[in-house]
Amino acid sequence: MTVPAAGPKLNVKKRYTALIGIIIVVCAGWSAAWAYGRTVLSNEIDRIITGLSTEGTNVGCRERSVRGFPFRYEVSCNDLTLQNAAGQSAELGLLHAVALIYNPWHIIFEARGPMALRDELSSGKLNGAWETARASIIFNEQSIRQVDAILEKVSFEIALPFAFGRGVADQADIHLRAMPDADETLEAFVALQDLTSDLSAVTSDPLTARLHVRISDGMSLLAGKKFMDLPVGETGVRPIQVVQATLNSAGAEAIAEGQLEVGQSGLISGALDLTISDVTKTAELIGRLFPENASLPAALEGAARAMGGAGENSMNQNTVTLPLTITDNQLRMGLIPLGVLPIAF
């Protein structure tokens, strides 16, 4: 009687053993690679902090950790503090950053309050808190290329030599990116929804504000360059396209569109089409944003009534569009002076 050969079963066993061995080797190699990457990341953070310290900005972090094994790197910093030589400081309860190993150029940030900003020179203070604050930031080898940030249920307290107040907002949005057809042009969208505050610039009714602009050569701002240092070209000005700027509160609405230019000295010139509804309320709302120009609400209301109703908005309200010109911060409608704008820098 012939005994069956055991070769096939032994071959299967050897294959399983080899497969398990490969898995162990791969896992061990991946663990070693992740640990090495964590060391490199920690050293890079130390290098950045040292570089900032050399330039006069001290960075503090009560507890820093790097986690996320096996597919992420998560960096957390409790009680983050920054202070520069000019006497400006910032404090944040927690900053948490996450990046996938296979896409380190895309980082997700989460911040937890409270937050405190201080400026010793002006004695200005800003304290803030929020329910959630998250941001998605995309980098390349040189700088930031895109920012998308949302803060929900925001509260703040601001103290300046000329103003003090508290406020809350339902949501704040910030979106910054390079224009698809003009790589160095910065497209920026900022929105503040349902803001209420006891500051003079805001009524007791919730205020919603949106700003959408495009700044030529503005992407360098995301690399740390100051606005006043942006290139001016042959014209000697920095062009800003106001795609749309909107203020809305209790049925009063103002929408501005046009082109602005900022000169070497920070003076603003350009032209805007200002469309307003509920003339009296909107004039008062705009006037609160420029409290130093006491005559602005009356001048704006008079100019709007002289123009008469010329259209309707999405709420079926009568609207009037005012052609505004700005020359070295002097705001006019035709020959009618409306006030003076603050300088850009």
Contact between residue 64 and residue 49 where contact means Cβ atoms under 8 Å apart = no
| pLDDT range class, residue 320, cuts 50, 70, 90 | confident
Higher pLDDT, 132 or 27: 132
User: Per-residue pLDDT tens for 16-46?
Assistant: 677 777 777 777 777 887 888 888 888 888 8
Average pLDDT in the chain: 82
Q: Are 251 and 239 in contact (CB under 8 A)?
A: no
High-pLDDT (> 70) share of the chain, %? 85
Cα–Cα distance measured from residue 290 to residue 300, given in angstroms and rounded to the nearest whole number: 12
**102 compared with 152, residue with greater pLDDT:** 152
Contact 176, 203 (CB under 8 A): no
CA dist 290 and 121 (Å) reads 24
Give per-residue pLDDT as tens, 142-178: 778 899 999 999 999 988 776 678 889 999 999 999 9
Task: Indicate the pTM of the whole model.
Answer: 0.80
Asked if the peptide bond before residue 70 counts as cis, ω within 30 degrees of 0, the response is: yes
